[in-house]
Amino acid sequence: MSAMKKLVVGNWKMHGSRAFNAELINGLKAADLGATAPRASVAVCPPFVYLGEVAAALQGSGIAVGSQDVSVQAQGAYTGEVAGPMLSDLGVKYAIVGHSERRSYHTESDQLVADKAKAALAHGLTPIVCVGETLAEREADQTEAVVARQLQAVIDTLGGDLSRIVVAYEPVWAIGTGKTASPEQAQAVHAFLRARLTAASASAASVPLLYGGSVKPDNAAQLFAQPDIDGGLIGGAALKAADFAAIARAA
């Protein structure tokens, strides 16, 4: 297992209500995930409208809070956008950028994702940059070409700040489908990403690489045991306190 400290992040996506969130947070607190701090960091990313409440409820728990996106702009007439300084003001630590759902449903380009990562860093947030291929791209043996293209925009844009990010490999064909890349498949892509980062900057060799795509309590330990998998970006299982806690402990 990698000696790097693990990171497990729950992406709640567009789920939740005040009642649901309170129950989930109580479950996470009862699981005492802050006790994993010496070996693994834990964070959750609720919808924007609940960020303040969730951050306040988790204060002192050892669980950090992240956002599911961030605007390139710091302020101004950008209706519907949420700026980095606003997130920092709420105590948010991480910002997911370039999730496959954003790339697909909102046609976000590689360059826009890279610009969002830069904006996050400028306002004290750690961007979690998502990369990943579709099933058609994998079947066409294009996995490495796709993730290399997505990552290259970030490398070119961030320069010396590259070492300050987190990268999440999420094969699109494994998100919410119940299908999971085998530990060996995931490790192969993570090793490729590690090599690209190291080639770009020696300091980027230690960038945490997370795996996302139907991670569950029963497969988390095997995935996290791979030498270049440093944790997970968890979707559906993050909505169940017991499952998310089990995944965090596996890290």
Q: What is the pLDDT of residues 141-186, one digit of tens each?
A: 999 999 999 999 999 999 999 999 999 999 998 877 777 789 999 9
- Predicted local confidence at residue 62, as pLDDT: 94
Catalytic residue of the set 23, 99, 184, 190: 99
pLDDT of residue 146: 97
**Phi, psi dihedral angles at 115 (to 5 degrees):** -65, -35
Contact 88, 123 (CB under 8 A): yes
Q: Could you count the other beta carbons within 10 Å of the beta carbon of residue 227?
A: 13
- Reply yes or no on whether the pLDDT at 1 is more than 60: no
Please report how the helices 18-30 and 51-58 are oriented relative to each other, as an axis angle in degrees rounded to 10. 30
Neighbours of 107 (CB within 10 A): 8
Whether 184 sits among the annotated catalytic residues: the reply is: no
Return the pLDDT at 213.
86
Model confidence pLDDT, tens digit, residues 236-247: 999 999 999 999
For 101-141, write each residue's pLDDT tens digit. Answer: 999 999 999 999 999 999 999 999 999 999 999 988 998 99
**CA 198 to CA 195: how far, in whole Å?**
5
| pLDDT band per the 50, 70, 90 thresholds, residue 3 | low
pLDDT in tens, 196-247: 999 999 999 999 999 998 899 999 999 999 999 999 999 999 999 999 999 9
pTM for the model stands at 0.96
Averaged over 12-22, what is the pLDDT? 98
99 is annotated as an active-site residue? yes
User: What mean pLDDT do residues 71-94 have?
Assistant: 98
Q: Give the pLDDT confidence of 28-75 residue by residue, as tens digits.
A: 999 998 887 788 999 999 999 999 999 999 999 999 999 999 999 999
Catalytic residue (one of 106, 170, 184, 190): 170
